[in-house]
Structure 1
């Protein structure tokens, strides 16, 4: 790791933040084209590749229940699979003279947001710092705005990118911890970033793969899984249900606990609660699971970090918010994807357990 110099440095951003020209704002996520225009150098970390999307396992009539989607353009196409996916290359971009203030990265007339606005200090937005606490010669930023908003993307993208950052310089992230389980994962995965909300970066490396799950990303993700499996050995068992309850973006499944208990009593599933259990407890329960089940959402990525190839997921989808994001990871890791779409009841939904049993019969042993 490069030497990080603790010093006070004047920041012109403190005075110019409100100028009209600084309103070229971007999220720090999939911004390779903008980074390319600002970089003094860019290079390929890993090539892209193509894969064929596998078909999901689901009952007839499920897709007809969908009334809304999230991060999914065509659920019918994506669940039936059979089409080619072009995964983008992974690239690195070197920028000079970067200011990092309160969850934002500033370069010239552009700024990149690292965190959702609700995580950022409002006081600092109105009264930005005019001095920096640290100066870093060679920084490498692995964090993304989407990773800092969605726990699942932090595990799949940001944690996988940490390895790239550590190879290029000082891994840097903002001094905001948006998830209660984050410190445990950083310890398990050997992540030791430099945290700061106020730094001047002489040279900074950024990474982008434009949402691609290329072979190199798979290898980095698999390496993190192996680190976790070393700590939490895999003992084969039928499955695990991860309770979501009221965590994250609201999607209330009225009979969540009932379905979890029926899977436990009739199929031998373990049950863990993302709002109550530590990362250690969740990972220990997930190790060796043949099936991971739960409401669609980032909390299921605890289990996805532990599932080995040919395991399966069973996703309970809200009809108003059907999402195929998890399938991007299961496809990359050779994990079978299955789902049941819930039945709407006022603003919430419930799952028919008979449909759950019939769907389990479809999943490969």
Structure 2
């Protein structure tokens, strides 16, 4: 265990933050080149490799409904599959004498954001302290900007990187939380990070894989999955509809409850609600599921964390926010991915139940 001690230190961040032209700001995400330029040492933890994407399951005329996308440049190309994807190696970078203050990491005049500014109070964002009382000799920063912004990426990226970080030093993260479910997952996955919003770190290791899913990351994700599966039991069943309601980034599906209840009544689906149920309740329902269904979003990752290879995920997509990010994980885990694009109604959308049924039939071959 690395040494953590209480020691009063003067931090220059409170002053240099206001000196224009001295500070370069980055997000703590896909910053390998910048980290390497600042590192006293860098090394490869795991090699890269290539995979070929799977074809998604969908009905004709779905793409015509899409009016905007999110984090998906070309939905047609991504969903048709057959794309060779080169996954970057996982690398580690040792940076000396850094400051971790109020959701940011500082090295010299470089600032790396661990959180979007909307998760920081104005006082934290604009008035960093000049005194910190924690000093860490060896630490490893495993959390990322996107992991702290999106719960699903926290599960796929940050929770896998934690395992690597724990072997390099004290795993550290902030006291700013992405989701109330985080603590439950940390307990289930044996994660015990040191949380701080104000620390000086003598030697800090940063881990970066450029958002790739190389073989090592898949292995680590599988380890987390097996850890969860070992704590729950259940038999095979039709599936689970995971209610999103208005959680996370707002996208309201007008007939979400209706679709969930019809799948329950006609096909034996279970229904869970991320705004009401605990992680243990959600996972207990998802164990053994053949299909997970719900509005596209991070909440579906609860199901992906325990689905067995060959199972399916059906996302119900807002036409004004089509997103294929979850398919990156389903491809990595040998899961089938399907989608239905909804129909816009003013600011919200609804989904045709017949199209849900027909797409489920495709997923079941």
Q: Which moved more, 1:40-49 or 1:121-130?
A: 121-130
Q: Which residues in structure 2 correspond to 1:112-151 (within 5 Å)?
A: 112-151=112-151
Offset of residue 364 of structure 1: 3.4
Offset of residue 148 of structure 1: 0.6
Distance 2:124 2:314 in 1: 43
Q: What SS does structure 1 have at the residue aligned with 2:34?
A: helix
Q: Does the Cα contact within 8 Å between 2:150 and 2:178 map onto a contact in 1?
A: no
Matched with 2:255 is 255
Matched with 1:232 is 232
TM-score by length of 1: 0.98
Q: What SS does structure 2 have at the residue aligned with 1:222?
A: helix
Distance 1:364 1:93 in 2: 45
Offset of residue 328 of structure 1: 0.3
Distance 1:317 1:176 in 2: 29
Offset of residue 308 of structure 1: 1.2
Matched with 1:172 is 172
Distance 2:55 2:39 in 1: 40
Matched with 2:89 is 89
Matched with 2:184 is 184
Deviation per CA, 1:237-295: give whole Å up to 9, x if none: 11000000001111111100000001101111000001111111111111111100000
Distance 1:364 1:44 in 2: 41
Matched with 2:48 is 48
Offset of residue 22 of structure 1: 3.8
Offset of residue 175 of structure 1: 1.4
Q: What SS does structure 1 have at the residue aligned with 2:322?
A: coil
Offset of residue 16 of structure 1: 1.6
Distance 1:213 1:270 in 2: 31
Matched with 2:318 is 318
Offset of residue 127 of structure 1: 2.5
Distance 1:63 1:125 in 2: 41
Offset of residue 224 of structure 1: 0.5
Matched with 1:152 is 152
Offset of residue 21 of structure 1: 3.2
Q: Call closer, same or farther: CA 1:195–1:22 in 2, change over 3 Å.
A: farther
Q: What SS does structure 2 have at the residue aligned with 1:154?
A: helix
| Structure 2 residue 294 is the aligned partner of structure 1 residue 282 | no
Q: Does the Cα contact within 8 Å between 2:25 and 2:113 map onto a contact in 1?
A: yes
Q: Does the Cα contact within 8 Å between 1:23 and 1:109 map onto a contact in 2?
A: yes
Distance 1:258 1:364 in 2: 22
Distance 1:234 1:53 in 2: 30
Q: What SS does structure 1 have at the residue aligned with 2:145?
A: coil
Following TM superposition, the consecutive aligned residue runs of length 4 or more in structure 1 with deviations greater than 4 angstroms are none
Matched with 1:351 is 351
Q: What SS does structure 2 have at the residue aligned with 1:231?
A: coil
Distance 1:229 1:332 in 2: 18
Distance 1:120 1:288 in 2: 39
Structure 1 alignment gaps of length 5 or more = none
Q: Does the Cα contact within 8 Å between 1:160 and 1:220 map onto a contact in 2?
A: yes
Deviation per CA, 1:318-358: give whole Å up to 9, x if none: 11110010000000000000111101111111111111111
| Structure 2 residue 205 is the aligned partner of structure 1 residue 211 | no
Distance 1:127 1:357 in 2: 54
Deviation per CA, 1:213-257: give whole Å up to 9, x if none: 111100111101111111122421110000000011111111000
TM-score by length of 2: 0.98
Matched with 1:292 is 292
Structure 2 alignment gaps of length 5 or more = none
Q: What SS does structure 1 have at the residue aligned with 2:146?
A: coil
Offset of residue 128 of structure 1: 1.6
